[in-house]
Amino acid sequence: MNAAFNAKRPRSIWVSLALLVLISVALGSFNLRDADSFAAEDEPAAPPPPAVETVLLETKNLRRWDRFSGRLAAVEQAEIRPLVGGTLQQVLFEEGARVEKGQLLFVIDPRPFEAALQNAKAILTSAESDVELARVEFERAEGLAARNVVSKSLRDNRLNDLKVTTARVEAARAQVTDAELNLEYAHVRAPIDGQIGRAEITVGNVIEAGGNAPVLTTIVNLDRLYAEFDVDEQTYFRVAVGSDRALDGEGGYPEVISGRQIPVRVSLGGEQPLDFNAYLQSFDNRFDAGTGTIRARALLDNNLGLLVPGVFVNVDLGSVTEVPTLLLPDRAVNVSQDKRFVYVVGEGDVVQYRAVELGRAIDGRRVVLSGVEPGERVIVNGTQRVMPDMPVLVTDR
């Protein structure tokens, strides 16, 4: 019996080993399938593309504006200087007041001029009396000479006396006119309407006339002012000639615009900017060789009286006609250091980076000079969630 048992024992061992191998292979394949399924369940799903809002870029016909720095200047101003010398007797205005043309401002002691006028009038009266006597003498000598009672030489002498006395009358009349002018000049009047400055000479001072005459005061008409500024050659030809090019295809100048009011906007900086409408009045007659610019002058009404000559201003010069202009919303513009850029949704709704060059602001939008084209879509909302070459979901379509 033991021999039979021992003969069967090796066979049973091999059977057991075979069963163990089969069980191990089955368990191994089960564990691999479970690991793969568990790994697939643990791996996170890919996030959806970020949602963005875009704006379709379009051009609009707008007037082009170019900005320059300028300074205000008076259209009418006058330095009041005395035309006669003497003692200043009266100052008849308040500093900073508005004066009218012909208003009396200063009185220089008129008594010497009144006396000179009286003397000139007396000389004129005497000369007129002499000429009357000379005329009578001449007429008498002429009648006697016609009857050969007196010689013709006597008649000629009487005629000469008449001419001399007549000339004295003319000289006396000129002296009277000169004396009247001097008396008038002793009463200094405003030559223009405007706002007057301070009196530079006070009562009691003796003033001189001529080349050493001092400035008594100044008057500036503030109703209208010039805004003077310098423009480059390209702007000059675009505005003055009405074309972006100076010459036409045949080598001749196009028709120069005349009689057309080119708009100008004058503005003051500060916490509360002030804008004033104006129009271009003229260009200078030559370019400055050193700067390559030409002086332009715009005319503006100063109805409120807020502006004074000498103030620095911003001058926006408008184009002759409206031109197609591409505008970009401010909220689409991103800034990195000194660069400005936008994100454009391109083909396949993939984000593209575009560096842009911008012009002036217009009602919350910026004029596009370069970087994007009409018909492209720029992202205006959601730019913080996107990067170049990233797909996005456009929600505004």
Q: Are 297 and 55 a contacting pair, CB within 8 Å?
A: no
Domains 52-62+325-394 and 78-218 share a fold: no
Helix (H) or strand (E) holding 311: none
Q: Is the pLDDT of residue 256 over 70?
A: no
**Whole-angstrom distance, CA of residue 100 vs CA of residue 189:** 9
More confidently predicted of 297 and 34 = 297
Q: Are 298 and 71 a contacting pair, CB within 8 Å?
A: no
3-state class (DSSP) for residue 1 = coil
343-397 pLDDT, tens per residue?
999 999 999 999 999 887 887 888 898 999 999 999 999 888 889 999 998 887 6
Q: Are 265 and 275 a contacting pair, CB within 8 Å?
A: yes
In which band, very low, low, confident or very high, does the pLDDT at 10 lie, cut at 50, 70 and 90? low
228-245 pLDDT, tens per residue?
999 999 888 887 766 444
More confidently predicted of 122 and 282 = 122
State the CB neighbour count (10 A cutoff) for residue 98: 15
What pLDDT is attached to residue 234? 86
CA distances in angstroms from 395 to 53, 118, 302, 329, 375, listed in the order given = 6, 98, 50, 18, 17
Long-range contacts of 174-179 (CB under 8 A, 24+ apart): 175/120, 175/123, 175/124, 176/117, 176/120, 176/121, 176/124, 178/120, 179/113, 179/116, 179/117, 179/119, 179/120, 179/121
Residue 59, class by beta-carbon neighbours within 10 Å (0-12 exposed, 13-18 middle, 19+ buried)?
A: middle
Domain ranges of the chain: 1-43, 52-62+325-394, 66-73+223-321, 78-218
Q: Are 127 and 204 a contacting pair, CB within 8 Å?
A: no
E-only strand ranges, 117-245: 187-189, 194-196, 206-207, 217-232
Residue 172, class by beta-carbon neighbours within 10 Å (0-12 exposed, 13-18 middle, 19+ buried)?
A: buried
38-58 pLDDT, tens per residue?
445 555 666 788 899 999 999
CATH class held by domain 52-62+325-394: mainly beta
CATH number for the 78-218 domain, one of 2.40.50.100, 3.90.1010.10, 1.25.10.10, 1.10.3720.10?
2.40.50.100
Q: Is-above-0.75 flag for pTM?
A: no
Helix (H) or strand (E) holding 2: helix 2-42
More confidently predicted of 19 and 132 = 132
Superfamily in which the 66-73+223-321 domain is placed by CATH: Efflux pump adaptor protein, beta barrel domain (2.40.30.170)
Q: Is the pLDDT of residue 62 over 60?
A: yes
